[in-house]
Amino acid sequence: MGRKGVINIVELTIVVIILFVSFSIFFPRADYRNRWEDAYAILKSRDIALLLERTGNLRTYAFEPELMENFFEILFPESNLILWSETDGAIKKDIKIACNCTGDTITKLTSWTNGLKLNERDITMSFCSANLDYLGPCVENSDVMLIWDYKVLQPYEQALSDYIASGKGIVEVMDFRYQSSGNAVDDDSVQRNIFGLKWIDIKKAKDAQDEFAREPDDATDIIFNPYKYFYNIPLPLEARNEDGAIEDCSYNPIKNGTFSFKGTNYTFWICNESSIWFDTNGDEFYDSWVKERSEITIGGYTFLLNYVNSDSSISISFKPDYVFDDFLVYIAPPGEPDPPGEGWGTRRVAHIEPIDDNTDRILMKSVSVSPPREYPCVILNQFGDTGVAWMAEFSEDGFGDDEKMLLTSLLLWASNKRTTSGEVSDIRLGYMTSYITVENVDMFEVYKFSLGLGYPF
């Protein structure tokens, strides 16, 4: 072959390469790919959520991750799908409270909230001891923080701000007292910037009563949920004492306990699995028989018997318009300067107001007729969806079940309400289906349930 023939072959090869590249550019090969895995995951998550809702099991499975996982394994025994779920907006089944308080206080709080039940699901509130100087696992794993008794919080402002930014609220229970060296509210940036409080003055106190400052306007009102919780969430009451038989009651011996408010104990006797006897006037004699889910008037106020939990426990809820004995006042310690004002003695009331003068943030107020006065005793503040609250120390003159329920309502309101369960790591592809659902046995409760399905790597 001559030199000319070799050149022709090289030129021909170049032309073929150019044509091949041109065709691949101007006429690209069509690549068809189905998204069956995507559609399958989406459809299955929707089907499971609807199946749970239609069979009445959504409420149970949404708050019981183990049941959800077992249910999924029964439906898809050979599947490699990964399941996880979330709830958002509902009071969690297990609420962890980081309590900056004494061990005795934690013991009391545990007793007060033991047996809490809402919309037929059990609510567990567990308390751990929190040290503000060392924000360890107790604080990190908590849903809400409780700070009991007065302390200077300014050194912890950044830590408390970060805690709130994580979606967890704070409740403080304390009396602010007169200090000749400075002001306990205005001199503490945490009280100003986080709780939104300011000091007005201090007065000598006379008898008063505490009541909700107003009714909430709508569901966006800052006081809406604390107000709703107090008047709807059932308060658990234990019956520890044993009595002899009562006619027509199946429990023998019969157990009794007390419901305490406004300085009076009202005894109840658990008759059978669905009814009780109540002493409604405080004379320690059973005079009113009440069935589960029925209202009863005790001491002039209306209540609802939500549950007869067992032969040793009931749950009861308050109804509007209940008023409290005054818990804003405190007993002045020896040596405290004597403030101006009406009356004599050691009883004092510190006048605290919202720092922004927004009275809508006042949940409860102390009201005196003579002389006429109104002082806030519970003030709320909000950062996005996260709430914080100041509540006056209520236990100095003893405390009742009404005050326990008020504190419980504030803790539930301020707690984190987003729960994530199941495996959410090592997922190559995943989809989540959200479902808005409602419960309304004890209280109207709207929350979002989300179910995710995905494929591993």
Enter the tokens of residue 155. 């050194």
pLDDT at 310 exceeding the cut of 90: yes
In which band, very low, low, confident or very high, does the pLDDT at 347 lie, cut at 50, 70 and 90?
Answer: confident
Give the ranges where 134-221 is alpha helix by DSSP (H).
137-140, 157-165, 189-193
- Whole-number mean pLDDT of the chain? 88
- What are the residues facing 298 on neighbouring strands? 301
Q: Pick 340 or 288 by higher pLDDT.
A: 288
Give the Cβ contact number of residue 50 at 10 Å.
13
Q: Does residue 29 or residue 303 have the better pLDDT?
A: 303
Question: What does the pLDDT read at residue 181?
Answer: 57
In this prediction, residue 92 has a pLDDT band, given cuts at 50, 70 and 90, of very high
Residue 377 contacts residue 392 (beta carbons within 8 Å): yes
Q: Provide the token pair at 370.
A: 């003579």
Task: Say if residue 374's pLDDT is above 60.
Answer: yes
The answer to whether 276 and 305 have CB atoms below 8 angstroms apart is: yes
pTM of the model: 0.89
H-state helical runs in 324-429: 401-414
For residues 238 and 232, is the Cβ–Cβ distance under 8 A? Answer: no
Query: What pLDDT is recorded for position 91?
Result: 96
Residue 321: both structure tokens together: 């318009």
Cα dist from 378 to 64, 172, 287, 334, 360, whole Å: 34, 10, 36, 26, 11
Q: Band of the pLDDT at 337, cuts 50, 70, 90? A: confident
Q: Within a 13 Å sphere around the CA of 207, how many CA atoms are in the beta-carbon half?
A: 2
Mean pLDDT for 228-254 is 93
Identify the top-confidence range among 107-111, 176-180, 436-440. 107-111
pLDDT tens per residue across span 6-25? 556 666 666 656 655 565 55
The residue assigned the tokens 């989809």 is 431
Q: What is the pLDDT of residue 24?
A: 57
* Model confidence pLDDT, tens digit, residues 256-286: 999 999 999 999 999 999 999 999 999 989 9
d(Cα 71, Cα 216) in Å, to the nearest integer? 41
Q: Tens of pLDDT along 48-83? A: 888 888 888 888 888 888 888 888 888 877 677 788
C-alpha of 87 from chain center: 13
Strand, helix or coil for residue 361: helix
